Amino acid sequence: MARRPLPSILRGGTAPIVRSRELARSAADNATDVLHPLITIGRGLRRLAAAGRRKWADTPKDRRGPLLFLIAAVLLVLSLLRYGLPLAGAALLAVAACTGRDRKPATPAADDDARSQRLTSLYEALVPYFSVPDDPAPLYTYGGDREKAFASHSFDESGHPDRLVLRYPGYFTDAEPESRLRVEQVLAAKLGRAREYRFDWNEQGNELTVTAVAPLPCDLTAQPFATAPGEYLLGFTDAADTARTLPVNGPDGDPRDEPPVLWRTGARATEPHLLAVGHPGSGTTSLLRSLALQALRHGDVLVVDGGGAGEYACLTGREGVLAVECDLDGALTGLEWACHETERRLIAAGRARQEGHPPPPDTRRPLWILLDRPAALAHLAEAEGRTDPQSLLQVPLRHGRAAQVTVVVAEQFDSTESLTEPVRRHTRARVVLGRASAAQVALVLGAPPNTSTPVAAPPGRGWVRLGDGPVQRLQVPAAPDPYDEGTAEADRRAVLELLPPRPQPLTVPPAPTEPPAVPAGADL
């Protein structure tokens, strides 16, 4: 049987195919060179549009109307000017061309290898947590393709990952805090413990976004914060956790805006009482001192210092400071008075409402009870067979919101077992300061933190949770003891300027040394 001849294209060799490929490649390169300006301008327009969308999303709703009016006014002025719109279009194209330029420097090969090795080790470290033996096509496996698991990633200038989006299989128990915590601990260890990372879980899309967060400002001191009545500043947090900023003054007096954590008290507050827990030197006493300085602007303060170290001596004798008690007898006397005062306010306000009158002014003036280290006083009371001072807080904790009474308790981690049930139940605003594990934070706040634990936490650094809200990072403004020799002069002066003056003592006129003269003719 005769063999069929080969097609002519195959008999003639592959030279025509090679030439056609070269011609197509050169044509594509020439087209890219010709269209490079248009590609650059298009890329710049996309970047400008994305920046505009982010700016619009970050703009508060109450400011969007004036912003639209400003844009419309600018367009109207440009339309009235001669050649206004063409010049504006040309300027927009020039800005787009500048923005669309690819400014990424060439990355050395050594850096690429180090980054690839870092991502590979991170991928393999997640294999025991994101894979099961019964999975026929595991997303995470030793020697697998990490590009399928890592949706996107980016590095900072130092070569450390600053953002990572990773996918995980649907059978991973992302609804259990213990499973999340194990993965977050592995990621924090592999990415580097020198930085803090934020973990955002997307249960619907089975994605985890890890972002390196900037350190919170720790150079701010106590100052007259611009807050409304009933609002008190606990500290500062990330801009992504709040839509509000607060004007503050930096250490050099330079004004700036920082995102605050505001705690609201009063008759309509959902978290009228606060509990702060931390290790020694973490800043719980500084937090109580900062709240006392803010509360004295509109109310009265009763301080019970269970530690007895004289941390609140600067408040003694000041206007609005009812007492600063450091021993067991003074603590019991002061807290018993606070209990009776709460009952008196409730009775007086109730009678006024029954008669159709507003509450008396003395019942509307805020009263703050600051109790630091109650476990030390409880130990002394148990040794002497006396009443635990915390038992006297039951009435202010239960009925303090209606009577304008706020209770703030600060304790250390090793003494939290001594806190009574009313203190645990009614202090719905919680603060954890200092270096603490995720389990300790979850035990106090009721939920684990969404960021990794810093290796070296400055004083006042921690987490806060108001009621059932999310857990937020917190940095308390410095309010050190002005009478401490180790306090910096600038911090001492800042605290002393916020302290109210001491009342002037009453001057009694001296008694007359000579008897008064008797008028002539008077009967003796």
Residue 357 φ/ψ, nearest 5 degrees: -115, 155
To the question of whether residue 316 is assigned a binding role by annotation, the answer is no
pLDDT of residue 5: 55
Is 387 annotated as contributing to ligand binding? no
| pTM assigned to the model | 0.75
Residue 394: closest CA among 430, 373, 422, 427: 422
279 appears as a binding residue in the annotation? yes
pLDDT at 193: 78
Sorted by sequence, the CB contacts under 8 Å of residue 30 that are 6+ apart come out as: none
Determine if residue 285 is labeled as part of a ligand binding site: yes
pLDDT at 37: 80
- The annotation status of 510 as a binding-site residue, yes or no, is no
* Predicted local distance difference test score (pLDDT) of residue 10: 44
DSSP-derived 3-state class of residue 186: helix
Give backbone dihedrals phi and psi of 371, rounded to 5 degrees, phi first.
-120, 110
Does 141 carry a binding-site annotation?
Answer: no
281 annotated ligand-binding residue: yes
| Residue 317 labelled as part of a binding site | no
The full DSSP string for 143-169 is T--HHHHEEEEEE-TTS-EEEEEEE--
How many CA atoms lie within 13 Å of 242's alpha carbon, on the beta-carbon side?
Answer: 21
Tokens of 421: 């049930």
| Structure confidence at residue 107 (pLDDT) | 47
Q: What is the CA radius of gyration of the chain?
A: 34
Chunk the chain into consecutive blocks of 10 residues (it has 524) and report each block's average pLDDT, rounded to whole numbers. 50 55 66 73 84 81 83 86 83 83 56 82 92 90 89 85 92 91 91 87 93 90 91 93 91 90 91 94 94 94 92 93 94 96 95 92 94 94 93 94 95 93 94 91 91 85 94 94 91 93 73 63 55
Domains in the chain, please, with CATH? 30-60+78-103 (no CATH), 109-213 (no CATH), 231-498 (3.40.50.300)
C-alpha distances out from residue 399 to 265, 299, 422, 491, Å: 13, 18, 12, 37
Cβ within 8 Å of residue 19, ≥6 positions away: none
User: What six digits make up the tokens of 262?
Assistant: 């505001």
